[in-house]
């Protein structure tokens, strides 16, 4: 006789629902991964050198739509837990739940481990409060071939559901590290041979100034701050250079993710002109 699907009151579902909050995630050391694309990335990530997918909650309709994902999750050792539509909705923070929610180990590693491969390009999120922005910066850093993303100070948790979705799977592609002490993060970057560049709308160094090329061509850690106030002043003071993206038109400013893309790709271009290959940029990527 088949086991009835779990409901929103089933103990395993109740326990998983606590992972919607940061305190619950940090306590359990696990987070929720929702939707077909994110679950697909999580399956590819799961393994002895990365982390475990512990469970996959799936509705009947989602199992019919994505049988290959259910099989793949089982193959990496996840418990497959059929649930009702209402139970799946209770585990979702989206308007249109897809009926697939995985429970995975947290992704972040110690800052020293993230920098151990001495990457040539690193993104530092300092005080970013919006999870969508944090996730998009992670996506941009991944696309640019950065070796790690470091989340410093009061930056939002990258395991937040909105951050995971905004990253479109990039949270699984490159090392992530968190430390509430921003100074510790900056010191670790310096110790790894990285020049600290603060993205600052009023910075003294123009990104397009030919003099910036020599700075951009070396190993750098770009520091990006919150949408409203940018990099905190105390953090910008610690940087080796404060770099501004020039506004050539009438726009008041660039949004955070766009500025991050412009800055990171400027470094990639300068490093390639100086002969640094793509393998150097991504040297600390997980296999």
pLDDT digits (tens, 9 = 90+) for 251-282: 988 899 999 999 999 999 999 988 754 434 44
Architecture of domain 11-105: 2-Layer Sandwich (3.30)
Pairing of strands 220-224, 121-126: parallel
Measured CA to CA, the distance from residue 137 to residue 10 in angstroms comes to: 36
- For residue 285, pLDDT over 70 is answered with no
Alpha-carbon distances of 129 from 132, 151, 234, rounded to whole Å:
9, 11, 17
Residue 82 backbone phi and psi in degrees, to 5 = -65, 140
pTM reported for the whole predicted model: 0.92
pLDDT value at residue 64: 98
Looking at residue 282, what is its pLDDT? 47
Q: Tell me the C-alpha distance between 166 and 120, whole Å.
A: 24
Return the half-sphere exposure (C-beta side, CA atoms, 13 A cut-off) of residue 17. 15
Q: Which fold has domain 111-281?
A: Alpha/beta knot (3.40.1280)
| Lowest mean pLDDT across 40-44, 225-229, 241-245 | 225-229
The lowest-confidence range among 1-5, 50-54, 169-173 is: 1-5
Strands 176-179 vs 53-58: parallel, antiparallel or unpaired: unpaired
pLDDT band at 128 (very low <50, low <70, confident <90, very high): very high
pLDDT of 49: 86
Burial class for 184, CB neighbours closer than 10 Å (0-12, 13-18, 19+) = middle
- Report the share of the chain in percent with pLDDT over 90: 87
Sheet holding 148-152, edge to edge: 176-179, 148-152, 121-126, 220-224, 195-199, 241-244, 205-206
CB burial readout 164-182, b (16+ within 10 A) else e: bbbbbbbbbbbbbbbbeeb
Nearest alpha-carbon partner for 240 in 212, 263, 268 = 212
State yes or no: pLDDT of 227 exceeds 90: no
pLDDT at res. 274:
83
Return mean pLDDT, the chain.
93
Domain ranges of the chain: 11-105, 111-281
């Amino acid at each position: 006789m088949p086991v009835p699907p779990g409901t929103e009151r089933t103990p395993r579902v109740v326990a998983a629902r606590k992972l919607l909050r940061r305190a619950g995630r940090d306590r359990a050391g696990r987070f929720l991964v929702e939707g077909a694309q994110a679950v697909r990335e999580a399956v590819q990530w799961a393994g002895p050198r990365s982390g475990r997918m512990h469970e996959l909650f799936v509705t009947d309709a989602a199992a019919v739509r994505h049988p290959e994902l259910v099989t793949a999750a089982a193959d990496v050792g996840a418990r497959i837990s059929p649930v009702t539509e209402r139970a799946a909705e209770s585990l979702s923070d989206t308007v249109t739940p897809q009926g697939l929610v995985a429970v995975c180990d947290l992704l972040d590693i110690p800052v020293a481990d993230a920098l151990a491969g001495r990457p040539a390009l690193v993104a530092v999120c300092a005080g970013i409060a919006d999870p969508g922005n944090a996730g998009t910066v992670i996506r941009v850093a991944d696309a640019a071939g950065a070796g790690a993303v470091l989340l410093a100070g009061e930056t939002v948790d990258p395991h937040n559901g909105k951050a995971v979705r905004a990253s479109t799977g990039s949270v699984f592609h490159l090392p992530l590290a968190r430390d509430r002490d921003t100074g510790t993060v900056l010191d670790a970057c310096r110790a790894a041979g990285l020049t600290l560049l603060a993205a600052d709308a009023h910075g003294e160094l123009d990104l397009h100034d030919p003099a910036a090329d020599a700075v951009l061509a070396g190993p750098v850690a770009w520091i990006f701050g919150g949408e409203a106030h940018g990099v905190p002043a105390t953090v910008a003071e610690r940087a080796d250079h404060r770099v501004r993206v020039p506004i050539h038109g009438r726009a008041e400013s660039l949004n955070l993710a766009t500025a991050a893309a412009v800055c990171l790709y400027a470094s990639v271009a300068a490093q390639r002109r100086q002969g640094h290959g793509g393998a150097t940029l991504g040297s600390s990527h997980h296999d």
